[in-house]
Amino acid sequence: MKRFPFLDLRRINADYSQALRAAAAHAVDSGRYIGGQEVETFERNLAEYVGANSIAVGTGNGYDALFLILEGYKAMGRLNTGDEVIVPANTYIATVLAVVNAGLTPVFADPDPDTMTLTGDRTEAALTERTRAIMTVHLYGAPAWDAKMGRLATERNLIVIEDAAQSIGAVAFDAGLNGTTTAGSLGHAAAFSFYPTKNLGALGDGGAVVTTDPTLATTVRAIGNYGADTRNHHIYLGVNSRLDPIQAAMLDVKLKEIDAVNNRRRQRATLYGSLIDNPMVRTPYNPGSVWHQYVVRIADGRRDEFREYLDRNGVETDVHYPTPPHRQPCLSSFGVQRLPIAERLAREVVSLPISDCTPIDDVAEIASIINRFK
Ligand SMILES: *Cc1c(COP(=O)(O)O)cnc(C)c1O
């Protein structure tokens, strides 16, 4: 029987095979294996892609990018240990671990039940006297931003950090704090992940901080380089988190195609949306999304049955995410409250196969298999 793979990374990277090999060869022959031209070029191109006046700083991975932003603001005196940071309750655990490991207090906001993301209204509901920052997560590639979130941030002098790990190229309807609408340029600072499965995926780990604040960029770069402002002079209790030149070279090849990649993902998402017609299956509607995941919802406790049915018919699926962070054992000390929307989403969501390489015919076949689920 025909199988529909959830994600075929070999096939995705095969499209760039020649260019990736050439870029790797250049990095191998350069004699420079930390920093250098490959990293500088990719940082410049990424910054330009995200927005005017942006600065990009490569990091070891997406988690480190989040953590370094928070540590950077602490070093700048803008955040202090114990300050509250609002995070959406339905996110990948990395978002929350960065907050906790930076010595800050995560406050979980139940997401909007329609968009499945943080909104201005949901942010407002989680605000307290001690809120100092909002960590908005552009989940599944959909921008989690609206004018109200921007207004709250301005009025209350809150730092807005974007977890843009899943959302390079996504576009919000309302302008962000910089007057721009692209993911990564909406708030004060953004973290990108180049984990291999992300829309812009490296061939290993990689990440970046993007900001228009030159002081934050300099601070993040120093903290990620053992806290050194100049060679052998350490002003912060830093860490080691740098983007490898080989990964920077791979990413620079793929960055040139990211708009085409995202457009092919949009096409597939639009097709799923127009073809799936089953009262049991709720399809997502997120016009600005770059569709890192295409996530449908199955109510009435039938999610596992639906996934087994799809598997029997060759369709591989996944769940992002089956347990919300506040229900994870490591965060039990923070997760005393009930977060009904996040908990319901965790029971209902199913991610369908989607990538720029998923054949259009497969999308149609998967939709028709879904429509036969009773
Ligand atoms: C992937 C991801 C991260 C972490 O990125 P890594 O590169 O794996 O460290 C953080 N937040 C979200 C929402 C992610 O999807």
Any atom of ligand 1 within 6 Å of the Cβ of 166: yes
Q: How far is the CA of 168 from the centre of ligand 1 (A)?
A: 12
- Residues 159-217 have pLDDT tens digits of 999 999 999 999 999 999 999 999 999 999 999 999 999 999 999 999 999 999 999 99
Does 207 sit in the ligand 1 pocket, CB within 6 Å?
yes
* pLDDT of amino acid 288: 95
Q: How far is the CA of 139 from the centre of ligand 1 (A)?
A: 10
User: Given ligand 1 and candidates 59, 116, 163, which is best to mutate, with the most ligand atoms within 8 Å of its CB?
Assistant: 163
Sheet strands (E) in the chain: 55-59, 84-88, 105-109, 131-137, 159-163, 189-193, 207-211, 228-230, 233-234, 281-282, 294-298, 349-352
Q: What value, to the nearest 5°, has the Cα angle with vertex 66 and ends 39 and 355? A: 70
pLDDT (tens digit, 9 = 90+) per residue, 246-272? Answer: 999 999 999 999 999 999 999 999 999
Of the chain, the percentage scoring pLDDT greater than 70 comes to 99
pLDDT value, residue 333: 87
Please give the DSSP secondary-structure letter assigned to residue 92: -
What does the pLDDT read at residue 335? 63
Q: Is the CB of 92 under 6 A from ligand 1?
A: yes
Please give the distance, rounded to the nearest whole angstrom, from the Cα atom of residue 191 to the centre of ligand 1.
9
Q: Average pLDDT of the chain? A: 97
Mean per-residue pLDDT, 225-241: 97
The mean pLDDT of 284-303, rounded to a whole number, is 95
Mean pLDDT (whole number) for 99-112: 97
- Please give the average per-residue pLDDT across 149-153, as a whole number: 98
Ligand 1 site, residue 325, Cβ cutoff 6 A: no
Give pLDDT tens digits for 178-192: 999 999 999 999 999
Question: CB of 163 closer than 6 A to ligand 1?
Answer: yes
Of the pLDDT bands very low, low, confident and very high (cuts 50, 70, 90), residue 337 is confident
95 lines ligand 1 (CB under 6 A): yes
Segment 76-100 shows an average pLDDT of 98
